[in-house]
Amino acid sequence: MQFISFTHQGRNSFGAIAGGGVIDLGARLGLSDLGQALRRRPLDALIDEAGRNAADLPAAQALDAYRPVVADPEKILCAGLNYAEHVRETQKERTERPTIFLRVAESQVGHGQPILLPPESARLDYEGEIAVVIGKRGRRIPENQAFSYIAGFACYNDGSIRDWQTHTSQWGPGKNFQNTGGFGPTLVTSDEIGENEVLMLETRLNGLVMQRATTDMLIFAIPELVAYCSSFVTLSPGDVIVTGTPGGVGARRQPPVFMKDGDVVEVEVSKLGVLRNPVRSEIPERCAD
């Protein structure tokens, strides 16, 4: 099943795609966010609720706007340097444990929404990735049980402001500018993806392929990431683990390729669809008095 988060007629909600339309689960449950729903009800209960109802909203393309698949995660944990080719192009050393950094929810946008190039930088880079959404609470999850804790998967663009990322050894500022990370278009539930299935990831900028890899190329596989992250923090339903980007990022090309106003960036993952975002220059808001 595919879940979608959206805005329609001025209201935030989420639902399931079925029969060419959308079952508005948010309206039925009195909730506005998928993360909130996952924290209150098991994923199976949401699937069952969707299965008992027919679509009551138009096709997803007719909704006012997509939101990030999980717009209200408690945590977004991102793996860096998790493909060997990306390690080589950054001239870094391969680490014995996953490199994990954090994103904030406000840094994300949904499918079709503009990724913003801030006035503070011209070095906005794409990073096509696969996101994992946690479906049930867990701490110190064994690798061989990790898949059972996953609600589903989605495409992710870990958009990065490269000069701000390298101000210091901490990457946080460059990874958290508002509206720089794409997340969507939908959450494909884990029952649609085989536990050991290999997925193909491709990133395109204005139609040109910039990155291509498969999940069997990950240095730390998805079960390892779930187990590792759950070792130091309790994973909650709706939490997001972003699994890393392959080689081919714009900053490491010769000459470098950074996204600019008017560009269109796409992240396609087999069985998960295509996340597409236009790039727009941000119009700075005036500082409030």
pLDDT in tens, 227-252: 999 999 999 999 999 999 999 999 99
d(CA 193, CA 130): 13
Q: What is the overall mean pLDDT for the chain?
A: 95
Neighbours of 96 (CB within 10 A): 5
Q: The domain at 76-281 falls in which architecture?
A: Alpha-Beta Complex (3.90)
Q: Pick 217 or 19 by higher pLDDT.
A: 217
The contacts of residue 276 (CB under 8 Å, 6+ apart) are 111, 112, 185, 264, 265, 266
The position carrying tokens 């980007």 is 245
Q: What is the largest CA-CA distance in the chain?
A: 54
- Span 94-103, pLDDT tens digits: 889 999 999 9
The length of the chain, given as a count of residues? 289
- Span 18-59, pLDDT tens digits: 988 999 999 999 999 999 999 999 999 999 999 999 999 988
Q: What is the pLDDT of residue 288?
A: 59
What are the residue ranges spanned by the domains of the chain?
2-66, 76-281
